[in-house]
Structure 1
Amino acid sequence: MTLIPIADAAHLVHGPIACLGNSWESRGSLSSGPELSAYGFTTDLGEQDIIFGSEQKLHESIRYIVSRFAPPAVFVYTTCVTALTGEDIEGVCKAESEQLGTPIIPVNSPGFVGSKNLGTRLAGDVLFQHIIGSTEPEQTTSHDINLIGEYNIAGEMWHIERLMQQAGMNILSRITGDGRFREVGWAHRAKANMVVCSRALLGLAVQMERKYGIPYFEGSFYGAKETSYSLRQMAYLTGDRDVERRVDKLTAREEMRLSLELEPYRKQLKGKRAVLYTGGVKSWSVITALQELGIKVVGVGTNKSTAEDVSRIADRIGDDAEYIPEGGARQILKTVRSRKADMVIAGGRNMYMALKEQIPFVDINQERHKAYAGYDGLLSLAKQLVHTLQHPVWELTAKLAPWEEETEFAD
């Protein structure tokens, strides 16, 4: 899922069709142009292919994609099946690259190798080893920034890009939300890297600093404070005082505007209690956004959080909240009841638990269709929270069913 947002490339899953179908488009990344990455290409291996080998089928699939769609590159993903049967994916990709003149890039990340974070890290290694440094931009500036781990969920990155442009900064490479293959190739010419979402891609930023001398920092765009900090840090790393002054004016203006627009929503959200069940960077960055709205986080999921993520959570809420390392729906529900939470903010897989228990629910994970990043994103989040809490369905479901009501009948 880390590489799929590269919108103009073809993505071929070498394995049974279920390996593609069970995971495709689970992340709501949007593209401002090409949509080839939305196509689900698979070699659709069957029993005979597994027994007798499927390298020839992979050759034919790659040739078909290149002849039919002419993509700038094809990513070929191994799966558990093809990894176990010993398919020479790298050999096939190398041979087809030489014959077709199109980069055919093997991605050796079968599901059984480990967690989602490990898969993301392997994807970062692929970018560093095969793509970054392979092309050159037409022009560069002293204000070029790479965004690493930003997937443009529901178009969030477009709002951030507008803010950066107003401050005089430019996104050189998007890794990988709304990205293009060639622009990832010239990422080595940036003046700074920002690791936005996935700590699993922190290794990519470290490797780029070692090889190309590009400084990096970790940041977030959830909440006004985090957005302002990230913009200031970008400006600082460019080393341009004029850009820093422009960022200071921009953040002051946006924070003042946002404060006025948020006022009616803060009044309705102040004192509300929420359980936040997500992972990684969002486990701490969304806390900041909720606190800016006056919401008290009484429970937080840490199942995909690193030790540093947990430390940042503690900095924001201390010991006042319950930490939920694992347990899924049952543990979330237990926390909601024990902490008297007013709402659950989590991923779509926990929506049904919340609705069955008549608990207001807001989707915060990658499947969502609303943008919550940046200043406008915080306003959108506030509106969604108020709308959810005040929805008339909760008053309706709180009533007794007709057959449960005590009814007096006239004699």
Structure 2
Amino acid sequence: MSSLRAKIQDVFNEPACEQNRGKDAKARKKGCSKPLTPGAAAGGCAFDGAKIVLQPITDVAHLIHAPLACEGNSWDNRGAASSGPTLWRTSFTTDLTELDVVMGQGERKLFKAIREIKEAYGPPAIFVYPTCVTALIGDDIEAVCKRAAEKFGLPVVPVHAPGFVGSKNLGNKLAGKALLEHVIGTVEPDDAGPYDINILGEFNLSGEFWLVKPLLDRLGIRVRACIPGDARYFDIACAHRARAAMMVCSTALINLARKMEQRWDIPFFEGSFYGITDTSEALRQISQLLVKKGADPEILGRTEALIEEEEAIAWKKLAAYRRRLEGKRVLLNTGGVKSWSVVHALMETGIEIVGTSVKKSTVEDKERVKQMLKDDNHMFEQMTPRELYAMLSEHKADIMLSGGRTQFIALKAKTPWLDINQERQHPYAGYDGMVELVRQIDLAIHNPIWCQVREPAPWDCQPAVREELPRTKSEAATLHAVQEFASTMADDFGEC
């Protein structure tokens, strides 16, 4: 437990974070993440955060040393995509029971599970995740993993991020620490070159990175390791030989980027592949870092030529949507890096941002939003469902972009909604991704279903009943009889 406490404390002390550098020693020890209230881990615990970062490593077996529910709740929690191996889609758990805990069988059961995975699947590595239960009962995960690695001849990596230690963001950083301690630098590549880079914090949601990688390929830039999106174990193990790195989500893996720069002199910058301008700027900064590390300066000219060509194509495609979307109001209920990257992307097409959530954003993220929106009146830390519903039902926004948790608020308010978080079905990164994002917003806003659902329901309409004079004496007699019968029934039973 003391070693776990030391690992967590090291993650809190993050000198690469500008906000952290401004704190005194006492405040720095408390970290950026608020402690979780027991039983209230909405938004994810540390184990969930670690699993999010590491599970997209597609050829690795991810073994959860815990009761069954821990694996059931964390499986498939991201829409990451793989271009090859599918082992990461298989759930592995030791399925501890009360009897295992009482009888102290946890470590024995873990060793047996590692052996079974090795024999059945033969993965290049196995990642072992202890959770709250196994951390509290004191199972020596380090010792079991070390013994299993020696016995079976493959890396067995302990990932110390039990849920009770903190938030999902803390778990992201603890996962990066596990990679740094046990994976990165363990294999020496025989093909290292001056144009090798790492991409950190890119999860390849819905295959987003596949829209960006062809751009890098055209520049002759090789992605040595994309961590974690569509990653392979040996690519990450060789990541220390890259010449530069781009960090897509600083709140997740800033500690990994900083320590790789310290150990192996790999400079990094924070960028975004959302939006035309940000994508172009990211390509420029990658090329500039590579030139500083010894690459041929001619890559700068090729980068500018590629940017000019791709921007012209993207703006031409977006021109058709600009006339339909200019002035439309968007409410962005997300957070983190998307609080500013998506804002910038949408503003490029003339869309108005009426609000953006900065719940999981860093101080640097918030400053970017202020610069883009010119003030902080459109920023909100947290908006309750009631407030969201009131804003949408009063037609203060034409569409809401958010995660799946709040989609039903928009639907109840009869407002278009588009998924922008990890469950989305469409990739939005790069030049083509920006065009796809605008296309999906256009489809959602102009879907004819919204005109129909906003009409009053048939049972809410009270059409006027016209009384027509009967044309014959028999019709008049019949109508008189019906009216008398109705009057009698009303006297006997009351009116409806």
Aligned match of 1:302: 358
CA contact (8 A) 2:331 2:354 kept: yes
1:205 to 257, 260, 266: 257
Relative to structure 1, the CA distance from residue 52 to residue 328 in structure 2 (aligned partners, 3 Å threshold; closer, same or farther) is: farther
In the aligned structure 2, how far is the partner of 1:363 from the partner of 1:328? 18
Aligned match of 1:3: 54
In the TM superposition, residue 369 of structure 1 has moved relative to its aligned partner by 1.5
In the TM superposition, residue 198 of structure 1 has moved relative to its aligned partner by 4.2
In the aligned structure 1, how far is the partner of 2:250 from the partner of 2:53? 10
Deviates most, 287-296 or 312-321: 312-321
* Correspondence 1:176 to 2:228: yes
Give ranges in structure 2 of 5+ residues lacking alignment: 1-51, 468-496
Residue type at the aligned position of 2:72:
G
In the aligned structure 1, how far is the partner of 2:289 from the partner of 2:215? 17
CA contact (8 A) 2:393 2:415 kept: no
Alignment map for 1:4-403 (pairs within 5 Å)? 4-53=55-104, 54-239=106-291, 240-319=296-375, 321-336=377-392, 340-403=396-459
In the TM superposition, residue 406 of structure 1 has moved relative to its aligned partner by 2.9
Deviates most, 197-206 or 167-176: 197-206
CA contact (8 A) 2:370 2:376 kept: no
CA offsets, 1:191-248, max 9 Å, x none?
1010012422011111011111110000000000000000000000010321111110
In the TM superposition, residue 321 of structure 1 has moved relative to its aligned partner by 4.2
Residue type at the aligned position of 1:283:
S
CA RMSD of aligned residues (A): 1.2
In the TM superposition, residue 400 of structure 1 has moved relative to its aligned partner by 0.6
In the TM superposition, residue 124 of structure 1 has moved relative to its aligned partner by 0.5
Aligned length: 411
CA offsets, 1:173-207, max 9 Å, x none?
11110100001011110010100124220111110
Aligned match of 2:45: none
In the aligned structure 2, how far is the partner of 1:330 from the partner of 1:146? 42
CA offsets, 1:3-40, max 9 Å, x none?
00000000001111111111211111111110101111
CA contact (8 A) 1:9 1:181 kept: yes
Residue type at the aligned position of 2:175:
A
CA contact (8 A) 1:298 1:320 kept: no
In the TM superposition, residue 389 of structure 1 has moved relative to its aligned partner by 0.5
CA contact (8 A) 2:393 2:414 kept: no
Deviates most, 257-266 or 221-230: 257-266
Q: What secondary structure is seen at the aligned counterpart in 2 of 1:396? A: helix
CA offsets, 1:57-113, max 9 Å, x none?
111111100110000000000111111111111111111011011100000101111
Q: TM-score scaled to structure 1, two decimals? A: 0.98
In the TM superposition, residue 50 of structure 1 has moved relative to its aligned partner by 2.0
Identity of aligned residues (%): 46
Q: What secondary structure is seen at the aligned counterpart in 1 of 2:223? A: strand
In the TM superposition, residue 334 of structure 1 has moved relative to its aligned partner by 4.0
CA contact (8 A) 1:275 1:335 kept: no
Aligned match of 2:479: none
Q: What secondary structure is seen at the aligned counterpart in 2 of 1:22? A: helix
Bigger Rg, which one:
2
In the aligned structure 2, how far is the partner of 1:295 from the partner of 1:85? 53
Q: What secondary structure is seen at the aligned counterpart in 1 of 2:53? A: coil
In the TM superposition, residue 333 of structure 1 has moved relative to its aligned partner by 2.8
In the TM superposition, residue 337 of structure 1 has moved relative to its aligned partner by 5.3
In the aligned structure 1, how far is the partner of 2:460 from the partner of 2:389? 25
CA contact (8 A) 1:274 1:296 kept: yes
